[in-house]
Structure 1
Amino acid sequence: MPDLLCCVSALRRIEAAAAGQPLMQRAGRTAAELAARLCRDDGGAILVLAGPGNNGGDALEAARWLHEWHFSVHVVFPGDPARLPPDAAAAHARFTGAGLQTQPDIPATPRWSLIIDGLFGIGLSRAIMSPYTDLIEKANRLAAACRCPLLALDCPSGLNADTGRATGTVIRASHTISFIAGKPGLYTADGPDLCGKISIDALGLNAENPEITASTDRSALATETADRATPASGHLTAMQAFAHCLRPRPRNSHKGSYGSVGILGGAAGMAGAALLAGRAALRLGSGRVYVGLLDTNAPAFDPAQVELMLRTPEALLTADLSVLACGPGLGVSPAAHALLLTACTKARTQMVPLVLDADALNLIAVENAAGGASAGSLTTTLAVRQAPTLLTPHPAEAARLLNCTTQVIQTDRIAAACTIAGRFRAWVALKGCGTVIASPDGCWQINPSGNPGLATAGSGDVLTGLIAALLAQGWPAEAALPAAVHLHGAAADRLAANGIGPIGLTAGELIDSARYCFNQWISENSQKISGKC
């Protein structure tokens, strides 16, 4: 269950079903055990910040255990014990019953070995106010000054556990322990920068329940899909989900066994985008890769990858393809629009998967802004497709597709991805920190791999090529998209681990790293299967 992600609505239902179990005592004990491991042995004390709700109760339970284990503990609780919710009030009673007392503010202790944030947990949906903002700012400063760990309980205070959005003052944790299950906000948007190293404790519960659905819409973005239940739980993207596709190649095979990829793009001044996508598709195992470049002055071949077959766009669209990817460097000219419409129609009639990125998405947005989904439009053509459609927008492209602002997209990335997937009946990868992958039926997952090195020109073009390569080799869309996204991030992580980036990492460097990781995955998976037999 470590890869399970639950939104707050799902967690509340799980907690209600387990109402008779001592969840707060379990949370406090497991938090104390982690705190004891993190606490530096330098003679310093442990600072515990307890808030006015159940997160504060977790903190009081942890502090009581740490005191029993002979740690020097100082608990700051500026709230009113009489106003605590029942479970937290019981935790406070156990805390004071052990002869312990709280303090209204942080004492002037010369050195802290650990700070625990138990101010606000997953229920917070508003900006934090004083005096808690002051405590958060002091805790962040003290953790930096003392160079000590800062452990957040369940979720850093000030971070939205559903969306990963930080509003106002927020804890910057070095470690976060998430109770029952992971929360999506820990892994996307601002979450990865604020949570540090994440660990999960299920508290003895089994939260894996596909019947749990959100009881209300997540945001205004989700209103158009309000007639269907939106899952309030998802997963982290993990290799286990697509391991069944990681098979070694048979000796008795040929290039025709691994599909033909078509890449449409590369308008004047942007040929490199299409070439990057083509190189990625080729080096991830596509049997043949055709690149149709709109630039009439484009070279006849790619000097860096002579195996690519460069064509005019018209010639590309007559080739026998296994998958068609459109958008890298395509431009938004009328000629590009006409070619994209022809490409989408071809992909529809020939029943081949279609990958749309970059300017292909922008052309759809421009068309919709000009007159909507009329007969023969791109949106209408996509709506009646039977073969898979895969869209890979970054937040600005997603905003254009939904006719909103990038800020709205980033406010709730899961809702945005699911809305696009529903509107276009497509598989969607909303790129960014914690890429959100959504299926046409509204299910979602978040990819944890990758680093800031991916924030570079051409990175998305490489991802397009990786997706196309897997589709061409027969992977279903539901495996190809998350696998390619995960591989894209893993390639960047491998480079950074070897001293190449994240600063200065280039898109072209990702391609060979992705090939290496992919072959390693297949080898490791084969060994695992052989070991089980």
Structure 2
Amino acid sequence: MKILSADEMRQADQVTFVRPDGKTGLPSVCAMENAGRAVASYLIESYLNPGSKDLVIILSGPGNNGGDGFVVARTLKNLDFDVKVYSLKSKDDYKGDALWAFEAFEAIGGEISPLDEHSLSDAHFKSELQNSALILDSIFGTGFSGEARGLGAKLIALVNSISEPALPVISVDLPSGLDASKASVAGEVINASATVCIQSLKLGAVLFPASSYCGEIFVADIGLDRSSEIFKSVSRELVTSDLVGEILSPFFIVPSESQVATRKQDPNLEHKGKKGHLLAVGGSSGMHGAPKLSTAAALKSGAGLASVLTPEAGKNEVQAEVLEIMCNSLPDDGKGNFKGNFSGAELEHLETIASRANAFVVGPGMGRSDGSLAVLTSLINLAIQDKKPTVLDADGLNILSEHSELKALLQKGRFVLTPHPGELARLLGVETKDIESDRLGKAVELSKEAKSWIVLKGPRSVIAGPEGEVFINPAAVSTLATAGSGDVLAGMIGGLLARGLTPKDALISAVFVHGVAGELLEATADEGLVATAKDIIAKLPLAFAEVMEFSEPHNPVFDYFLPGSISY
């Protein structure tokens, strides 16, 4: 599912309304009618009871977003709902399709009341809002930018002051006050229960923190031309279960009925060595649990074998808990960290261990000692030399940020970087606030610089590729904000790389399944239960099963809501 900016959405509108050959395409007024009817269909299916004469308050602003609201009002009024429409503008301020929608509502006896400073402070108006079945926000749309001011800002603040779970507020296209092209939030913004995006997802509806104002998100297909060059040229996409299922299906084969009956499996699944071997390198004083989590997650993600390479001081601790993994060590410095200045024999030992693996994860709990730098340098060079895909995580990234010569080597290999905002800030030499204000742009910047795939972790994680590709993961769950969650994700990516997936496919799949595991954990956790990284790992088989549709399909955060026929 493509994710568009405001300008791209305007271009998509234009090439649908006027075809490239100059001939007339879909009339724009039909697109507005489709949008309004789709929103009305969603309201009836999700919130309203036909025949109940529920009171629906529609708040409209300038431009076509207000016009969409007028179409919703006409559709609902024709179905005998009690509809009251309030507008920030008078009829004289509307033109084009929005004016047509205004007059069409008037033609069936509808009234549109203009708002002013006095009406916003009127107790009757506030009482109507509070006693309605729902409030529809069609104040500002995709054309809005900057910060809501004046009467619009006051109206938004009023709606937010009275909204509560029992009073749904549904936004058309975007919650009013959000910029369709930005993740950042300024000024007053409608805190919506749900948002019906028109035709396509917008950046402001998907990127955090702006997305936190949208509630559940649905996309209404209003008939714009998805085959146009505008849609094709957009390189930003939402990760969906369909996309991930398609990626994973060649690697996770469901036995056929005949195979089950004869207890035969696909021969490619019979030997653990054919399912990939991941080597996780890390651990230091007090941090030996990190690579254990990575290898456990790799095994739960389908890798046939998993090994840890850790300082000698942590070897027994690693072996004691995760019985399925193989553990190797290098000498420590007496403080629990890798020692520096490897001997020739020790370097040969490292190369032998690395040669057995199909992919590496380097960095979890590794620390930033001189020995850690030596190990990271050796493994980066081995990964380039042997063309082995490698995940760089945690302290692996922190060391990179301190050694530009290592960072420059990444362009020669197949690397996946997994920074959180602080780590990305250090890699780019900026402040964390600079990352948070432009998560997508900064992720793309590093991916192009390093010629590597990147995931910027956090709510709605941003995945960026070296050619400018962008994927946004829909998950935004608090259960993933726990110690060791990143080690789990790194191991999942590494396990899928070892299995033979490309860096792009492994990253997209692991991030999505990791999010599904978090959602499953959040849905099943007892009230007050604090989730741990081990809890996330325990949910991975079910998360993979849901994505692969081995069990009941996972309910997506985003879905299409198509305009259906409405009986009058």
TM-score, L = length of structure 1:
0.87
1:326 alignment partner, one of 359, 362, 370: 362
Q: 1:352-367 maps to which residues of 2 (within 5 A)?
A: 352-367=388-403
Deviation of the 1:511 alpha carbon: 1.0
**1:208-287 superposed matches below 5 A:** 208-209=227-228, 212=231, 231=234, 233-238=236-241, 239-248=244-253, 250-251=266-267, 253-287=270-304
Q: Distance in 2 between matches of 1:21 and 1:468?
A: 48
Aligned to 2:319: 302
Is 1:398 matched with 2:409? Answer: no
**In 1, Cα distance between equivalents of 2:424 and 2:312:** 26
Distance 1:181 1:241, change over 3 A: farther
Instruction: Specify the alignment match of 1:140 in structure 2.
Output: 160
> 1:445 deviation in Å?
1.2
**How far 1:405 moved relative to its partner?**
2.3
Separation of aligned partners in 2, 1:324 and 1:502: 36
CA gap 1:113/1:188 in 2 versus in 1, 3 angstroms: same
1:179 corresponds in structure 2 to 198
CA distance in 2, matches of 1:79, 1:299: 72
Report the equivalent of 1:411.
437
What displacement does 1:333 show? 2.5
For 1:130-209, list aligned pairs within 5 A.
130-144=150-164, 147-209=166-228
Kindly tell me the number of residue pairs found equivalent between the two proteins.
497
Matched residues in 2 for 1:452 and 1:430: separation?
16
Distance 1:322 1:307, change over 3 A: same
Distance 1:502 1:246 in 2: 37
SS of the counterpart of 2:319? coil
CA distance in 1, matches of 2:98, 2:547: 46
Per-residue CA deviation, residues 163-200 of structure 1 (Å, 9 max, x unaligned), is 33322211111111111112233223024422122111
Question: What percent identity do the matched residue pairs reach?
Answer: 31
In 2, the alpha carbon distance for the partners of 1:501 and 1:288 equals 36
**Distance apart, 1:161 and its partner CA:** 2.4
Q: What CA distance in whole angstroms lies between the structure 2 residues aligned with 1:439 and 1:9?
A: 22
Matches within 5 A, 1:288-299: 288-294=305-311, 296-299=313-316
What is residue 67 of structure 2 aligned with on the other side? 57
1:122 alignment counterpart: 142
Contact kept, 8 Å, 2:148 with 2:187, in 1: the verdict is yes
Distance 2:412 2:251 in 1: 31
Is the Cα contact below 8 Å between 1:54 and 1:85 reproduced in 2?
Answer: no
Label 1:425 to 1:363 Cα distance change in 2 as closer, same or farther (>3 A).
Answer: same
C-alpha separation between the residues in 2 aligned to 1:519 and 1:135?
46
1:390 counterpart SS class: strand
Aligned counterparts of 2:53 and 2:105: Cα–Cα separation in 1: 23
The CA deviation at 1:44 is 4.8
| Range with bigger deviation, 34-43 or 56-65 | 34-43
Work out whether 1:17 is the aligned partner of 2:15.
Answer: yes
CA–CA separation in structure 1 for the residues paired with 2:317 and 2:190: 55
Matches within 5 A, 1:379-390: 379-385=407-413, 388-390=414-416
What SS class does the counterpart of residue 429 from structure 1 fall into? Answer: strand
Amino acid at match of 2:388: V
CA contact (8 A) 1:152 1:175 kept: yes
Q: Quote how far apart the aligned CAs of 1:305 are.
A: 0.9
Q: Secondary structure at the match of 1:18?
A: helix
Over the residues paired in the alignment, what is the CA RMSD in angstroms? 2.5
Amino acid at match of 2:73: A
Partners in 2 of 1:465 and 1:83 — Cα distance? 58
| Mapping of residues 493-512 of structure 1, within 5 Å | 493-499=519-525, 504-512=530-538
Which stretch shifts more, 512-521 or 281-290?
512-521
Instruction: Give the 3 Å change call, closer, same or farther, for CA 432–295 of structure 1 in structure 2.
Output: farther
CA contact (8 A) 2:86 2:112 kept: no
Whole-angstrom distance in 2 between the partners of 1:346 and 1:435: 29
Q: Does 1:338 align with 2:374?
A: yes
Spell out, residue by residue over 1:79-132, the C-alpha distance to the aligned partner (whole angstroms, 9 max, x if none): 244343533233223333444232314513261101001111122220111211
Matches for 1:88-103 after TM superposition, within 5 Å = 88-99=98-109, 100-103=111-114
Cα–Cα, structure 1 residues 85 and 328, in superposed 2: closer, same or farther, change >3 Å?
Answer: farther
Question: Which structure 2 segments of 5+ residues have no match?
Answer: 18-26, 254-264, 331-345, 554-568
Distance 1:196 1:495 in 2: 20
Structure 2 CA distance for partners of 1:198 and 1:336, relative to 1, 3 Å? same
Change (3 A) 1:505 1:336: same
Say yes or no: does 1:37 pair with 2:45: yes
Aligned partners of 1:44 and 1:111 also within 8 Å = no
Q: Distance in 1 between matches of 2:247 and 2:409?
A: 30
Distance, in Å, in 2 between the alignment partners of 1:501 and 1:326 is 36
The one-letter amino acid of 2:4's match is C
Q: Which residue identity lines up with residue 10 of structure 1 in the other structure?
A: E
Question: Aligned equivalents of 1:520 and 1:128: distance in 2?
Answer: 41
Task: Tell me how far 1:520 sits from its aligned partner.
Answer: 5.3
Deviations 1:66-89 (A, max 9, x none): 222222222221224434353323
Normalised by the length of structure 2, the TM-score is 0.82
Contact 1:496 1:502 in 2 (8 A): no
Q: Does the 8 A contact of 2:193 with 2:216 survive in 1?
A: yes
| Structure 1 gap ranges (5+) | 215-230, 368-372, 528-533
The DSSP-based 3-state class of the residue aligned with 1:292 is strand
Contact 1:184 1:446 in 2 (8 A): no
Displacement of 1:52 after TM fit? 1.6
Deviations 1:227-254, CA, capped at 9 Å, x for gaps:
xxxx454233433441443432624632
The aligned amino acid for 2:307 is: Y
Q: 1:207 to 1:240 in 2, by over 3 A?
A: farther
1:87 corresponds to 2:97: yes
Structure-2 separation of matches of 1:240 and 1:201: 24
Shift of 1:449: 3.3
Letter in 1 for 2:238: H
Cα distance change on mapping 1:475 and 1:297 into 2, 3 Å: closer
Secondary structure in 1 aligned to 2:483? coil
Change in 2 beyond 3 A, CA 1:32/1:301: closer
The CA deviation at 1:516 is 3.0
